[in-house]
Structures are given as structure tokens and as C-alpha cells.
Structure 1
Amino acid sequence: MVISKLMKMQNNEPEVIQGKGYLVEITRTSRTKTASLKVEDGVVMVVVPKKLDITKIEKIVADRHVWIMSKIALHSTATPASNKQYVSGEAFPYLGRNYRLKVLKGDLGPTKLINGRITVSIPDITQQHHYIRRFLVNWYKRNALKKITEKVQRYEPLVGVETSVIRIKEFKSRWGSCTPYGDIEFNWVIVMAPNRIVDYVVVHELCHLLHHDHSPQFWKEVERVIPDYQECKEWLKVNGHGLVV
């Protein structure tokens, strides 16, 4: 059932094989000795031992084809995560500016921002829109790590702190979190907001390394670096729920 074609992705995107009507995203890890399949948001994913041969992965997927199709069908009847159609010409914000999506049908390739368009190259498959969303999210996550890391490095000396590890995650109801050890996690969705809002979120988390609460001293520290932080805070309150892919 699986078309024997492995697509090596660039920019840390996952390995992908093409099945009959769907793609399969491969995650290799040394933390497992067995393969496991799941369908999440309409996207088929398989987690396998790090050095498992690709032909064995293809057989695992082929043997579970009926199960995979049933899960995809079940997802198609669920309520969509957003009202996006994932078609060429649709707008997606990045750092406060809207960029048009350009979908190219053909060999799978890395998602890129080219000439003012977010370009996704994908085979002509049945469940195409699920994968376009998946590749867009991966693109946002990569760029969020790069952009937020730059901003953290810029604001560290202004706040007077040093960070340890910067991670990009997906939170349901917050924009970031930190630990007393200097580890900071940011919600990748924030890079859809204007630059100044991203600055505020970065400074907010950096200030938590000085004050682990929302005391007057904490907000005074935020205001010292971001004088208009109240406007940024209000912007997120009003517009944050609309930052969706």
C-alpha cells in the first residue's frame, strides 16, 4: 500500500513516505525498541527505533492501512481546528505581517518564505490540507526558535539575566514559562503577532528570572525595558485568540 519513496527533508523537517492517499511522518528515536503508529489532526505519524530500515517501516504502515484510513475518516468528521482552507492565496501572519500561502503540487520540499509568499511543496494526496497545515506549523516552529532566540540574546543584557535553554512548545493558554534555572519555553504561536508583541513576551519571561511572580516589582522591571507593556498586554488579550494556523 505504501509507495516506496522516502523524502529527505531539509531544515530539520521529518522524514516522510507517501502512502495511498496520505503521507506518513517518520520520527526516529533511540528511546524505543518498537514502532508505534498514530493519526493526529489527520496526519499519520510513526515513531520507530533510530536505525530501523525504511522497508520495514513501509511494511508496518502497509499492514495498518485499513486502520489508518479509518482514523483519517474519523478525523474528517471532527470540528476543524480553524476556518482555514490551506489553499494558495490564503493569508497567514508572521511577525504581524500577512503573507500569502502558495501551494505547489509535486515532490515534497521544505516550506520556505520566498518573495513574500509562504511556499509549501506537496504531492497530490487525498488528505492534502492536513499536511499543508502540518508543514506550516513546522515552519512557524523553526522560525519561532530562530527569531525568539535572537530576541532573548538581545534583551538578556537589558534585563540583566542569563538564560540556559530556550525551547519552543505549544501551550493551550499561555505564551511562555520559565524555571529558576534559566530554562525558558515559548509558545510558537506568538511569532504570528507583531514584532513588538513578541518583544514583550520575551521580556516578560526574562523578568520572571528576577521575580517569579506578578508582583509590582515584576511589572516595574517589565516597564523599564518595555515602557508600553500595558498596550502589548492588552493587544494579546484582544487578539491572542485569533493567532491560529
Structure 2
Amino acid sequence: MAETIQLGEPPIDVTLKHSAQARRMSLRVSGVDGRVSLTLPRRASLREAQAFLRAKEDWIRGHLDRQPETTWIAPGAVIPVEGRPRLVAETRTRAVKLLEDHILVPPGSDKAGARVRALLKTLARDRLAEASARYSTQLGRPFGKITLRDTRSRWGSCTSEGNLMYSWRLILAPVEVLDYVAAHEVAHLVEMNHSAAFWGNVESLMPEYKAPRHWLRTHGSGLHRFQF
């Protein structure tokens, strides 16, 4: 069972996990949310873990200092939609409206985040359904249902039954990035692996897939800094 201890001042929460497979201590600072975790061999003691963390404290704080700052969505915040920055602005409107450079929200700043998130999820579902259908038709392989989640470990997945799952945060990324993830997951309808044949199918669907794939690897974690 995992436990949490604190390191230094100001304190840093560190999650400790014992693993029967671990041969040495393994430290990780998540690039998504800044969570710090330490995996320990089964027989390692709490005292050994604390000593290890004290020795690594400067390294941990250095990584945390480089984490992108959290942006809370409220009037005045700027958030990208399909890669384009939009200013959240409160105005006299009954529904949230997506404009070229703004997202207009009704009065009530305490509800702005939830309203913007609902808009983004609806837009993400529409865009991902369209892209999935387009690539599915190209491959001649139908898919099942589409599910949206706020996943941190992956941007999409495809089950053996042909159901597709996507992170709705892909709507924040440039259009070609969302398209790449859709092409990637639809390609799994043919190859449930990452073999050369799989990547050949991805390339047949999206010949220029390498650039958006690189964008996602480089900038994808930043999409999680927006909180609603």
C-alpha cells in the first residue's frame, strides 16, 4: 500500500511505493502534475527512503521549479482551443460562446471553469468523432463507441472490441495533433501493437504524422496545467 511522507521546508509530498520487482530506489517527478513518487524495494526501510530523498532534495526542487504554472480558468484567463489562444471573458450571454479569439461566458465567474470545460468536452467529442470516422473509412475498419476521459498517462486507446478512448484535452492542442491521435488509435483497429505494420498504417492515414507526434511528446504535458 502506498503512503505519503513530506520532505523539507516548504514541504514536498512524496508518495512511497514498495515493489517486489524493484532492486533499487527509483525516484520520479511527474511531468504532468508534478507529483513526486519513490519506488522502493520490498525490504527498504522508511529511514532509508528519507535519507535517499534528503540527498535528492535539490534535484527534486529543481524539477518542480521547471513545472508549468497552473492556470485556473476564470474570466481573464487565456486558454488554447485547437491550438489558438482564447481569452475567457464574462459578458451578458445565456450560453458559452467560442469566438475567434475569445470564449464568452455568462455572468457568474465561480461557474466559468465548469462552463468552459463543458464546451471543450462537447467540441472535443465532435472533432474526435469526425476524425475517427474519417480515418476508419479510409482503413475500411469500423470502430465501436467513443469515450472521453481526462487521462494523464495516455492520450488515447483502442480496445480489442474496437472501442476508442480519448483525452478531451486534445481539443486544446493544434488541430493536426488531435488528428494524429485519432489516426494512431484507429490504426490499432488493424494492428493492436506498435509494429512496423502499425506505423505503416498510421503513415497511410496521416503521411505527416511525425511532426504532431513530436509536438505531443514535447508540449503535451502542458495541456494539463489548465484547471477548471
TM-score by length of 1: 0.59
**Change beyond 3 A, Cα 1:228–1:100:** same
**Change beyond 3 A, Cα 1:85–1:234:** same
Structure 2 residue 70 is the aligned partner of structure 1 residue 83: yes
Deviations 1:129-187 (A, max 9, x none): xx322222111111101111111122212122111111211111211111122211110
- 1:172 aligned partner: 152
1:159·1:203 contact (CA, 8 Å) conserved in 2? no
2:141·2:190 contact (CA, 8 Å) conserved in 1? yes
- 1:156 aligned partner: 136
Q: What displacement does 1:100 show? A: 1.4
- 2:219 aligned partner: 239
| Higher RCO, Cα 8 Å, sep 6+ | 2
Select which of 94, 100, 116 maps to 2:101.
Answer: 116
- 1:147 aligned partner: 127
1:176·1:185 contact (CA, 8 Å) conserved in 2? yes
- 1:29 aligned partner: none
- 2:196 aligned partner: 216
Distance between the aligned counterparts of 1:86 and 1:171, measured in 2?
A: 19
**SS of alignment partner, residue 122 of structure 1:** coil
**Change beyond 3 A, Cα 1:115–1:189:** closer
Matched to 2:161, the amino acid is Y
Deviations 1:197-223 (A, max 9, x none): 111100000001111111111111111
Structure 2 residue 85 is the aligned partner of structure 1 residue 98: yes
**SS of alignment partner, residue 177 of structure 1:** strand
Identical residues among aligned pairs (%) = 29
Q: What displacement does 1:87 show? A: 4.3
**Change beyond 3 A, Cα 1:230–1:115:** closer
Distance between the aligned counterparts of 1:87 and 1:94, measured in 2?
A: 15
**SS of alignment partner, residue 114 of structure 2:** helix
**SS of alignment partner, residue 110 of structure 1:** coil
**SS of alignment partner, residue 148 of structure 2:** strand
1:90·1:100 contact (CA, 8 Å) conserved in 2? yes
**SS of alignment partner, residue 137 of structure 1:** helix
Select which of 184, 206, 220 maps to 1:226.
Answer: 206
2:75·2:112 contact (CA, 8 Å) conserved in 1? no
Matched to 1:97, the amino acid is R
Structure 2 residue 180 is the aligned partner of structure 1 residue 195: no
Deviations 1:11-65 (A, max 9, x none): xxxxxxxxxxxxxxxxxxxxxxxxxxxxxxxxxxxxxxxxxxxxxxxxxxxxxxx
Structure 2 residue 120 is the aligned partner of structure 1 residue 137: no
**Change beyond 3 A, Cα 1:197–1:170:** same
